[in-house]
Amino acid sequence: MRKSKRLLLLEWAEQSRIDPERLTEAMRVSDVLPSADDWRGFLDTLLLWLGALLTASGVVFFFAYNWDDLGRFTRFALVEGLLLVALLGVWRLGIDRLSGKIALMVAAVFVGVLLALVGQTYQTGADTYELFAVWCVLILPWTLIARFDGLWVFWLFLLNVAVIIYYDTFGGIFGVVFGVEQMLWLLFLINTTALLVWEFLVSRGHSSRRSIRWMTRLLATVSCGLITALAIFGIFSDSQWLSLLGPIIWLVWMVCAYLWYRTVVLDVYVLAIAVLSAVAVVNVVLARILFNGVLEHSGGLLVMSLSVIGLSSFGAFWLRGVVKGAQT
Amino acid sequence: MKKSSHSLLWQKLLTQGLVTGEEPEFNDDTAPWYVRTMLGIAGWVGAILLLGALFGGFALLTDSAVVAGMLGAGACLVAVIIYRATHHNDFAKQFAFAVSLAGQALLVYSILKGLNLFQDTEAFISRVRQVAMVLVVLQSILFLVVPNILHRTWSALIGVGAAVFLLNQYGLYPFTLAITLAAGTMLWLQEFHWARYGEMLRALGYSLIIVSISHLLTQNHFWDDGRFWQNVFGIQSLGGAVGEWLASLCLGVILIALVFVLLKRGEIALGSSISIASLVLAVLVTLIGLQAPGITVGIVVVLLGYSRGNTILTGLGLVTLVVFISQFYYLLHLTLLQKSILLFGSGLVLLAVRQVLKHFWPKGAADA
């Protein structure tokens, strides 16, 4: 609401309906600009986030320095000590407060530092993906009890990295080419499941939609991006059943996204990325048809150019209609 | 925004004496940022395909630099006409954007071909400068004549980027970052005063901030030992190592000046505990930023965004902070140990300041 008011007031000022000299006052009266209390809260959060980020980064850099003078027991004592301090912070601040949740996130980062130190010190011969996989498993209980979307994003990020590094190392079951598709399917499964769980929790009232909207949008973007890539892979695949699977699941995703984000809970952002996905996939199909001898290259490129522009314009027109409908 | 909220807002301003007359017609035609981004991406792709079709179909014509230039200029002119002739037609605007991008690409191609850019390596740098100058002029004209926010943002990005390149080439590196950040800060602080140029100002404002951030991340990127401009273009820092240190200090001065202006506009007395705390914090960040300038830049953008109620700017600032700290790992002007001490110490100081702030400026107290 604040963002829309801002643009509306600027528009009225542009139309000279508000004197520019009084625009600041108009913004304040409309609660667009932050009050003194808003500033106080903002500074508090900013200092907390930035302080925690710099502190955790400093520790990570320190152990990357690989200081040879430190004996291995001293190194372990330092990392475990910092981990303990972070956990003491969680205990003192309380898991329900934002500062407590951030302290737990810092502790989760230190777990990774500790695992890296174990791998570095004992040269266990473990693969890199195992570091991230074990890291995920170890911090999962904390992630569950924290009920903090920032920590969930971090956890999912680690899980995604573990999968990517695994496939980068082993190339999948049938070799490198199929390994990429397998990896994308697994990532799609992970991130779409996370999205479904999130939507389920929100619909059950475990959190307000608005407060975790950024989280659902992030997951929806990743999920949509992955299924779009899989659909495109399928279109260019020579295997009969593989060529159908990607596009069919993509179609199912699009229908479900429309039904949920258009008719049940309105989120125009997800609809916008769905439109972009549709433009991409439809034009890849068009390219496959056109460049199989239907048209020579220049003609084909011209048709595709008009198709991209036309479909995206139609999509934007539809999205604007959806936004207008929601506002009246 | 709903029509009822639109009316309520107008009534509220009317009772405060900030507006007069009839309520403006409800016409919320502004698309959300993600719809505009989607259109922008599609426009880009459409332009590349159109360019491919033009080059393929008119291969013989585009072989001549003059003809390619005329085609490019013609395409830009057609785009301007379409923009000015249509108002609420998404397809036309998208098509015009694609045609304009294709026209600009043809113009640049004609200049590159005319200058034989890749055939004479000795004059390569001076010819790239000529291309940059042409880009500044071309994008300035398009910025002024095309009445579309997406196109204006594109023109401003390319124009400001080319101008920054020229400033670096003509000896102002490493102060160019401070110049663009200062320009962006001043522009955003005057956003309400120059509201009647709203669309132009926002396009230019975002471009100055985005180019500042890109310049910061480019000059600190981890290839070529973080000395991109020196190694690729052979430029020297103005003032050498002292100059680089002074440039970081200039960024801090911008931050302190911004805090000062915000305090003044908030009518907070300079001698009050809030002012003292704010200015001390700004000085602390400046000191941290002497070795890690990305932190100063990120904080400036975050403060600018929050003070204007602009969530896009605030988000850009936060992303800058995170990306810079990741990049900081690879910079070689300090050892990893020095960097870790700097970051860890800075983090602890900020957390301590947060605790101290609770005494000087308790939450819920409007006046300290």
Q: What does the pLDDT average to over A242-258?
A: 90
Q: Considering only the beta carbons, identify the residue of A15, A53, A275 that sits closest to B325.
A: A53
Give yes or no for a contact between A50 and B288, defined as CB atoms under 8 angstroms apart.
Answer: no
How near does any CA of chain A get to the CA of B268, in Å?
Answer: 10
CA distance A109 to A106: 5
Confidence at residue B313, expressed as pLDDT on a 0 to 100 scale = 92
- Secondary structure of chain B in the HEC alphabet? CCHHHHHHHHHHHHHCCCCCCCCCCCCCCCCCHHHHHHHHHHHHHHHHHHHHHHHHHCCCHHHCHHHHHHHHHHHHHHHHHHHHHCCCCHHHHHHHHHHHHHHHHHHHHHHHHHHCCCCCCCCHHHHHHHHHHHHHHHHHHHHHHCCCHHHHHHHHHHHHHHHHHHHHHHHHCCCHHHHHHHHHHHHHHCCCCCHHHHHHHHHHHHHHHHHHHHHHHHHCCCHHHHCHHHHHHCCCCCCHHHHHHHHHHHHHHHHHHHHHHHHHHCCCCCCCHHHHHHHHHHHHHHHHHCCCHHHHHHHHHHHHHHHHCCHHHHHHHHHHHHHHHHHHCCCCCCCHHHHHHHHHHHHHHHHHHHHHHHHHCCCCCCCC
CA distance B67 to A110: 62
Confidence at residue A327, expressed as pLDDT on a 0 to 100 scale = 66
The dihedral sign for the CA sequence A13, A15, A18, A22: positive
ipTM over 0.90: no
pLDDT of A109-131, one tens digit each? 999 989 988 888 887 676 788 88
Give yes or no for a contact between A59 and B46, defined as CB atoms under 8 angstroms apart.
Answer: no
Which residues from chain B sit within 8 angstroms of residue A276, using beta carbons?
38, 41-42
Which residues from chain B sit within 8 angstroms of residue A62, using beta carbons?
336-337, 340-341, 344
Does the distance separating the beta carbons of B93 and A10 come in below 8 Å? no
What are the φ and ψ backbone dihedral angles of B123, each rounded to 5 degrees? -95, 15
Predicted confidence (pLDDT) at residue A1 exceeds the cutoff of 70: no
Does the distance separating the beta carbons of B31 and A309 come in below 8 Å? no
CA distance B162 to B144: 17
Q: Of B143, B145, B67, which Cα lies nearest the Cα of B110?
A: B67
Does the distance separating the beta carbons of A58 and B343 come in below 8 Å? yes
Place of tokens 């259109």: B39
Helix residue spans in A259-296 (DSSP H): 268-289
Predicted confidence (pLDDT) at residue A267 exceeds the cutoff of 50: yes
Does the distance separating the beta carbons of B91 and A55 come in below 8 Å? no
Predicted confidence (pLDDT) at residue A207 exceeds the cutoff of 70: no
CA distance A103 to A84: 11
Does the distance separating the beta carbons of B19 and A26 come in below 8 Å? yes
Confidence at residue B29, expressed as pLDDT on a 0 to 100 scale = 57
Confidence at residue B6, expressed as pLDDT on a 0 to 100 scale = 77
Which residues from chain B sit within 8 angstroms of residue A7, using beta carbons?
30
Q: Considering only the beta carbons, identify the residue of A60, A302, A324 that sits closest to B53.
A: A302
Q: Is residue A301 part of a domain?
A: yes
pLDDT of B11-69, one tens digit each? 888 888 888 777 777 665 566 777 877 877 888 788 888 878 877 776 656 667 788 88
Predicted confidence (pLDDT) at residue B105 exceeds the cutoff of 70: yes
Q: Is residue B106 part of a domain?
A: no
Q: Is residue A165 part of a domain?
A: no
Q: Considering only the beta carbons, identify the residue of B24, B30, B365 that sits closest to A15.
A: B24
Give yes or no for a contact between B339 and B328, defined as CB atoms under 8 angstroms apart.
Answer: yes
CA distance A88 to A100: 10
Predicted confidence (pLDDT) at residue A12 exceeds the cutoff of 70: yes
How near does any CA of chain A get to the CA of B279, in Å?
Answer: 13
How near does any CA of chain B get to the CA of A117, in Å?
Answer: 16
Average pLDDT, chain B: 83
Q: Of A249, A250, A247, which Cα lies nearest the Cα of A239?
A: A247
Q: Considering only the beta carbons, identify the residue of A23, A53, A298 that sits closest to B53.
A: A298
Q: Considering only the beta carbons, identify the residue of B57, B94, B343 that sits closest to A312.
A: B94
CA distance A249 to A29: 49
Q: Of A209, A150, A214, which Cα lies nearest the Cα of B315?
A: A214
Residue A327, chain B, CB below 8 Å: the answer is yes
Does the distance separating the beta carbons of B335 and A51 come in below 8 Å? no
The boundaries of the domain holding residue B223 are: 173-368
Residue A297, chain B, CB below 8 Å: the answer is yes
User: Which is higher by pLDDT, B335 or A143?
Assistant: A143
User: Which is higher by pLDDT, A283 or B25?
Assistant: A283
User: What's the number of domains chain A is made of?
Assistant: 1
How near does any CA of chain B get to the CA of A131, in Å?
Answer: 20
Q: Is residue A18 part of a domain?
A: no
Q: Is residue B48 part of a domain?
A: no
SS3 A266: coil
Tokens of B134: 């042409």
CA distance A12 to A26: 11
Confidence at residue B120, expressed as pLDDT on a 0 to 100 scale = 59
Q: Is residue B55 part of a domain?
A: no
CA distance B299 to A47: 11
Predicted confidence (pLDDT) at residue A288 exceeds the cutoff of 90: no
Q: Considering only the beta carbons, identify the residue of B322, B325, B350 that sits closest to A51.
A: B350
| Other CB atoms within 10 Å distance of the CB of residue B172 | 17
The boundaries of the domain holding residue A302 are: 243-328
CA distance A302 to A287: 11
CA-based angle A259:A260:A264, to the nearest 5? Answer: 100
CA distance A188 to A207: 24
Q: Is residue A114 part of a domain?
A: no
CA-based angle B308:A316:A217, to the nearest 5? Answer: 60
What are the φ and ψ backbone dihedral angles of B83, each rounded to 5 degrees? -60, -45
Q: Is residue B342 part of a domain?
A: yes
Tokens of A200: 């389920």
pLDDT of A189-203, one tens digit each? 999 999 998 888 888
Q: Is residue B287 part of a domain?
A: yes
Which residues from chain B sit within 8 angstroms of residue A310, using beta carbons?
91, 94
If residue A304 lies in a helix (H) or strand (E), which one and from where to where? helix A297-327
Q: What does the pLDDT average to over A297-309?
A: 84
User: What's the number of domains chain B is made of?
Assistant: 2
Among B8, B11, B13, B265, pick the best mutation site for testing chain A contact (most A Cβ within 10 A).
B13
Tokens of B322: 């995170």
Give yes or no for a contact between B73 and B107, defined as CB atoms under 8 angstroms apart.
Answer: yes
Does the distance separating the beta carbons of B325 and A15 come in below 8 Å? no
How near does any CA of chain A get to the CA of B283, in Å?
Answer: 14
**Which amino acid is located at A144 in the chain?**
L
| Cis? peptide before B174, omega within 30° of 0 | yes
Confidence at residue B3, expressed as pLDDT on a 0 to 100 scale = 60
Residue A298, chain B, CB below 8 Å: the answer is yes
CA distance B220 to B212: 12
Q: Of B218, B221, B232, B245, which Cα lies nearest the Cα of B330?
A: B221
pLDDT of B108-149, one tens digit each? 888 877 776 656 556 777 778 888 998 999 999 999 999 888
Which residues from chain A sit within 8 angstroms of residue B47, using beta carbons?
305
Kindly provide the b/e burial profile for residues A76-109, where b requires at least 16 CB atoms within 10 angstroms of the residue's own CB. Answer: eebbeebbeebbebbeebeeeeebbbbbbbbbbb
Does the distance separating the beta carbons of B18 and A25 come in below 8 Å? yes
pLDDT of A209-223, one tens digit each? 556 678 889 999 999
pLDDT of A18-75, one tens digit each? 888 888 888 888 888 888 888 888 988 888 888 888 888 888 788 777 666 778 888 8
Predicted confidence (pLDDT) at residue A294 exceeds the cutoff of 70: no
**Which amino acid is located at A54 in the chain?**
L
**Which amino acid is located at B260 in the chain?**
F
Q: Is residue B324 part of a domain?
A: yes
If residue A241 lies in a helix (H) or strand (E), which one and from where to where? helix A240-258
Q: Is residue B153 part of a domain?
A: no
Q: Is residue A257 part of a domain?
A: yes
Q: How are the residues of chain A apportioned to helix, strand and coil, as percentages rounded to the nearest 5?
A: 85, 0, 15
Whole-model pTM: value is 0.74
Place of tokens 């202006």: B261
Does the distance separating the beta carbons of B29 and A13 come in below 8 Å? no
